[in-house]
């Protein structure tokens, strides 16, 4: 029997990228994994991949922006397994980031759609799953925020606001339900190599991030999946309301450090 045997883990956006890596991580540890994703093609594929090695995965196609679908998902999980041990709020409307610019250049509708896709979705998922967690007297909620929610962004105005809101949702949930056994934490990645970054990112953008990092290279999905797993297990039992940066040290660094390092290493002196 492994650590996660008998545990039910719901992962939104579990059909791709970081959510997919996290689904495999929990499945390999013996959990029952529910993949709640709107991707009708990838969801059954990830379910099948997990089942191939004996894992217990269930794809339940869900759009987490839709409250009715979220409630139906949790109802189904409750009826079938009677519990939710881990809720991993990972899905976000990343297709909106392409047109998410500065304050003056971003459409107000896009701003609202981003909040709906990135934080309202986590709010309704949390609201739906909490009663089961409170009934069982335990649970861990792990929300994916972003470095974009921790400091000002040159672009991605709406995305950054939504991720800052995810952090506040995380803290409030932790404070309100900690005494009843439910923890809630957030993870703030910087760049993680997923299809999202491949689609919307640029090689230049990746170089800029890498220059600002203390770690030698940008993250891969498993780097985040391992931290989600840690936050779901008793190893992290005293950690709640926390925002854990998985960013290779960007947020720890002074903004001047990338240029400073270049200069110290004999690169060109800074000019105005």
Ligand X SMILES: NC(=O)c1ccc[n+]([C@@H]2O[C@H](COP(=O)([O-])OP(=O)(O)OC[C@H]3O[C@@H](n4cnc5c(N)ncnc54)[C@H](O)[C@@H]3O)[C@@H](O)[C@H]2O)c1
* Residues with catalytic roles: 159
Footprint of ligand X on residues 77-116 (CB under 6 A)?
Answer: 90-94
Residue number with CB closer to ligand X (117 or 248): 117
Please report how close the Cβ of residue 34 comes to ligand X at its closest, in angstroms: 12
56 binds ligand X (CB under 6 A): no
Instruction: State in angstroms the smallest separation of the CB of 225 from ligand X.
Output: 10
- What is the Cα–Cα distance from 175 to 238, expressed in whole angstroms? 13
- Closest approach, Cβ 189 to ligand X, in A, equals 4
Residue 22 as a binder of ligand X (CB under 6 A): the answer is no
User: Which CB atom, from 4 or from 119, has the smaller least distance to ligand X?
Assistant: 119
CA distances to 16, 60, 127, 225, 266 from 217, rounded to whole Å, are 21, 34, 37, 17, 22
For residues 156 and 103, give the distance between their C-alpha atoms in angstroms, rounded to a whole number. 9
Query: Least CB distance from residue 111 to ligand X, whole Å?
Result: 16
The distance in angstroms from the start CA to the end CA of the chain is 62
* 160 touching ligand X, by CB under 6 A: no
Spatial separation of the C-alpha atoms in residues 73 and 62, rounded to whole Å: 7
Q: Which two tokens stand for residue 19?
A: 């959510």
The CA angle 121-160-242, to the nearest 5 degrees, is 75
Q: What residue ranges bind ligand X (CB under 6 A)?
A: 12-13, 15-19, 37-39, 62-65, 90-94, 117, 121, 144, 146, 189, 191-192, 194-197
């Amino acid at each position: 029997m492994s650590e996660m045997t008998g545990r039910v883990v719901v992962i939104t956006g579990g059909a791709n990228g970081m959510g997919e890596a996290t689904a495999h991580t929990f499945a390999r540890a013996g959990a029952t994994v529910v993949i709640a994703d709107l991707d009708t093609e990838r969801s059954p594929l990830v379910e099948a991949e997990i089942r191939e090695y004996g894992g217990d995965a269930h794809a339940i196609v869900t759009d987490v922006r839709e409250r009715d679908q979220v409630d139906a998902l949790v109802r189904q999980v409750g009826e079938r397994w009677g519990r939710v041990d881990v809720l991993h709020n990972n899905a976000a409307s990343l297709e909106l980031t392409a047109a998410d610019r500065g304050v003056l250049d971003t459409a107000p509708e896009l701003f609202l759609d981003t909040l709906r896709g990135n934080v309202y979705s986590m709010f309704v998922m949390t609201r739906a799953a909490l009663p089961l967690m409170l009934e069982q007297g335990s649970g861990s909620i792990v929300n994916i925020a972003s470095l974009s929610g921790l400091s000002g962004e040159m672009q991605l105005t709406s995305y950054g606001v939504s991720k800052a809101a995810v952090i506040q949702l995380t803290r409030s949930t932790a404070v309100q339900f900690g005494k009843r056994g439910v923890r809630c934490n957030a993870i703030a990645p910087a760049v993680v190599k997923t299809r999202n970054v491949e689609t919307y990112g640029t090689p230049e953008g990746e170089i800029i991030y890498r220059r600002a990092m203390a770690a030698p290279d940008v993250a891969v999905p498993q780097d985040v999946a391992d931290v989600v797993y840690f936050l779901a297990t008793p190893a992290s039992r005293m950690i709640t309301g926390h925002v854990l940066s998985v960013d290779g040290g960007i947020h720890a660094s002074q903004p001047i450090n990338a240029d400073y390092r270049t200069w110290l290493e004999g690169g060109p002196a800074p000019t105005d």
